[in-house]
């Protein structure tokens, strides 16, 4: 499978501008032969959207843009980050990824591990995923993770969570792991990310595709 990385730089709150960045990158990568295009975490809204999610029009407009992207998808699938409504109990929203394929219903994955340390306060807005399930895309089972979901094993100073999403997805047959991320940049962070992803790939014996 040919996977394209739309490593764009979304602007928080600029939904229409982010749409243009996403669709431009998607069309360029699809034209180059990508079968699946990945965006960063929360690419539609920008990260972190913080209290913008409580504005009455913000989440509906982000969902409308998701539908616009779905209508523009052609042969290549698009996996895009967005804010989803929580239809169950708990916090009102999910940090989510949507799989967009031409002629097929939108499929969604929600972030499992919500950081609440350092600059992060995701549990103020988001409810964690209630289940994990790989997506089948062109005959391959793809395990979708979002940012923190992949940081659990070797690179946090101490265990913060009771679950490991990557292991859970592989247990359900995931052949490829993808990660949509909006991890902040600091000095030496690229090397840390490289070692983290490479170490996880070696541990699980699976290819891991990381889009930040």
Query: What does the pLDDT look like over 183-196, one tens digit per residue?
Result: 777 777 778 778 88
Name, of 47-61, 113-127, 152-166, the range with top average pLDDT: 47-61
Peptide bond into 48 cis (omega under 30): yes
Number of residues written out for the chain: 212
Report, at the CATH architecture level, how domain 3-211 is classified.
Answer: 4-Layer Sandwich (3.60)
Strand partners of residue 84:
94
pLDDT score recorded for residue 198: 84
User: What is the mean pLDDT of the segment spanning 115-126?
Assistant: 87
How many percent of the chain have pLDDT more than 90? 77
pLDDT at 186: 73
Q: Cα–Cα distances in Å, from 96 out to 79, 127, 187, 211? A: 10, 10, 28, 15
SS3 assignment, position 73: coil
Cα 96 off chain centre by: 6
Q: What is the mean pLDDT of residues 142-163?
A: 78
CA separation for the pair 29, 35 (Å, rounded): 9
**Residue 161 to residue 115: CA distance in whole angstroms:** 10
Active centre residues (catalytic): 41, 111, 147
**pLDDT tens for residues 32-68?**
999 999 999 999 999 999 999 999 999 999 999 999 9
Per-residue model confidence (pLDDT) at position 193 = 78
């Amino acid at each position: 499978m040919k996977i394209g990385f739309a490593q764009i730089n979304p602007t928080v709150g600029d939904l229409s501008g982010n749409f243009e960045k996403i669709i431009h990158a998607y069309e360029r990568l699809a034209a180059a032969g990508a079968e699946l295009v990945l965006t960063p975490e929360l690419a539609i809204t920008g990260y972190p959207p913080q209290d913008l999610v409580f504005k009455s029009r913000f989440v509906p407009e982000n969902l409308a843009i998701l539908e616009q992207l779905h209508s523009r998808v052609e042969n290549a699938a698009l996996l895009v980050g967005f804010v989803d409504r929580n239809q169950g109990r708990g916090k009102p929203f999910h940090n989510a990824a949507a799989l967009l394929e031409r002629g097929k219903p939108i499929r969604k994955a929600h972030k499992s591990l919500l950081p609440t340390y350092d600059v992060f306060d995701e549990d103020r807005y988001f409810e964690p995923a209630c289940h994990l399930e790989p997506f089948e895309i062109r005959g391959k089972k793809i395990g979708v993770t979002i940012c923190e979901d992949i940081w659990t094993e070797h690179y946090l100073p101490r265990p913060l969570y009771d679950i490991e999403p990557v292991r859970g997805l592989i247990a359900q047959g995931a052949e490829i792991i993808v990660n949509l991320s909006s991890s902040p940049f600091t000095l030496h962070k690229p090397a840390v990310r490289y070692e983290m992803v490479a170490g996880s790939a070696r541990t699980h014996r699976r290819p891991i595709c990381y889009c930040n």
